[in-house]
Amino acid sequence: MNSNKKLSILTLNAGSSSLKIALFEMDEPEFCMLTSEIDRIGLKASRFKVKGGDGATIVDQHMDIADHEAALQTFFHWFDSHPSSRPLDAIGHRVVFGGTKHSQPTAVDAKLIAALKELVPLDPEHLPAAIRTMDTVSRLYPDAAQVACFDTAFHRTMPPAAQTYAIPASYTQEGVIRYGFHGLSYEYIVYELAKLGEPDGRVIAAHLGSGASMAAIRDGKSIDTTMGFTPTAGLVMSTRSGDMDPGIITYMTQEKKLSSKVVSHILNEQSGLLGVSGSTSDMKELLDREKTDPDSALAVEMFCYVASKFIGAFAAALGGLDRLIFAGGIGENAPGIRKRICAGLGFLGIELDADANKANAPVISPDNGQVKVRVIKTDEELMIARHTKNIVEGGTK
């Protein structure tokens, strides 16, 4: 393919009941032409939204969308009739789970689809939707190249001691290991640090949003991360529990007679900030309520406490710390949360400049600070588009 051509690349991020879409023109500089989000797929009153590259809302409709195929058809029906429509050179997919063998973006073909179907028992929550999305795109746009970008791939550089659980080896051999997630976000952060002239060193990156995780990164490579076999592990999240005693699951199933499906729903959809507060999973709402609601205050305190604890643990794993990065919706926009997380970490050389932190500045540590603390607006969709462009043009990274 002509490397001088301005490629039009569509990115698809399929969740269990959602679909996020972005269209990029891969020129210098790269430009996002539009974004779309379809929520509540399979439920009544699904929501179809489209925004232009300037952030202005183009479409905001409620409708019933039965499944991911219907969601794609809804978007493409709108896209093909819209003035911004253009031939698509390639379509990149965020695939949450890639197992142990998929450590690089990969062209989608029958062999890859078959391999992903074999991995479904390890990730029944995310992979079926991703596979259905790829199959649907193949039918709707048979001539467009497709590329799978795996969220677990970035963490395949973790050493065995960080990947392996202390359980019988037979389970490890079946693929029950710490995979880690948010890999595309961490790749973007590493890419941005390289642009800033800071590609090497000891970095802790905190992707704090509805889903939250951290990664310990040495010289651009992951050496540990908080999420594990599934995205449920690690930090306190909006509705996920984070780390907990496995004996609690035994209690739920044996004493409370709950099925594994119900337990999974509780730990992933009813726990975290929502479970502790009993009212909301939204950090902004919790911060507004914490002075009058002890449960909201406890939820915020737990979120910050666990995050601080993991920073300390990862600093030990790295043998020190050069940079701390905040990203994600909370990490990028909640100075009060960043302040609380960092408050007790002065012994690691972490300090914040109060004014810079309040302004969400790119650098929020003092000029003479031992550890540089940055805020980086992450962009998983752009990372998918970059990977897709490289694969289509014959690259490997």
SS3 301: helix
Q: Which of 151, 243, 322, 379 is catalytic?
A: 151
Environment class of 189 (CB within 10 Å of its CB; exposed 0-12, middle 13-18, buried 19+): buried
Token representation of residue 360: 């969400």
* C-alpha to C-alpha distance for 156 and 38, rounded to whole angstroms: 31
* C-alpha to C-alpha distance for 102 and 15, rounded to whole angstroms: 19
Residue with tokens 């979120």: 303
Closest to 209 (Cα-Cα) out of 227, 229, 223: 227
- Asked if 223 and 318 touch (Cβ cutoff 8 Å), the reply is yes
* C-alpha to C-alpha distance for 83 and 332, rounded to whole angstroms: 33
Closest to 377 (Cα-Cα) out of 323, 331, 340, 324: 331
151 as an active site residue: the answer is yes
- Asked if 213 and 243 touch (Cβ cutoff 8 Å), the reply is no
Enumerate the H helices of 63-201 as residue ranges: 68-80, 110-119, 127-140, 160-163, 169-173, 183-195
* C-alpha to C-alpha distance for 3 and 392, rounded to whole angstroms: 9
Q: Where are the beta strands (DSSP E) in the chain?
A: 7-14, 19-26, 31-39, 46-52, 57-63, 90-95, 106-107, 145-150, 202-208, 212-218, 221-225, 323-327, 372-375
- Catalytic residue IDs: 151
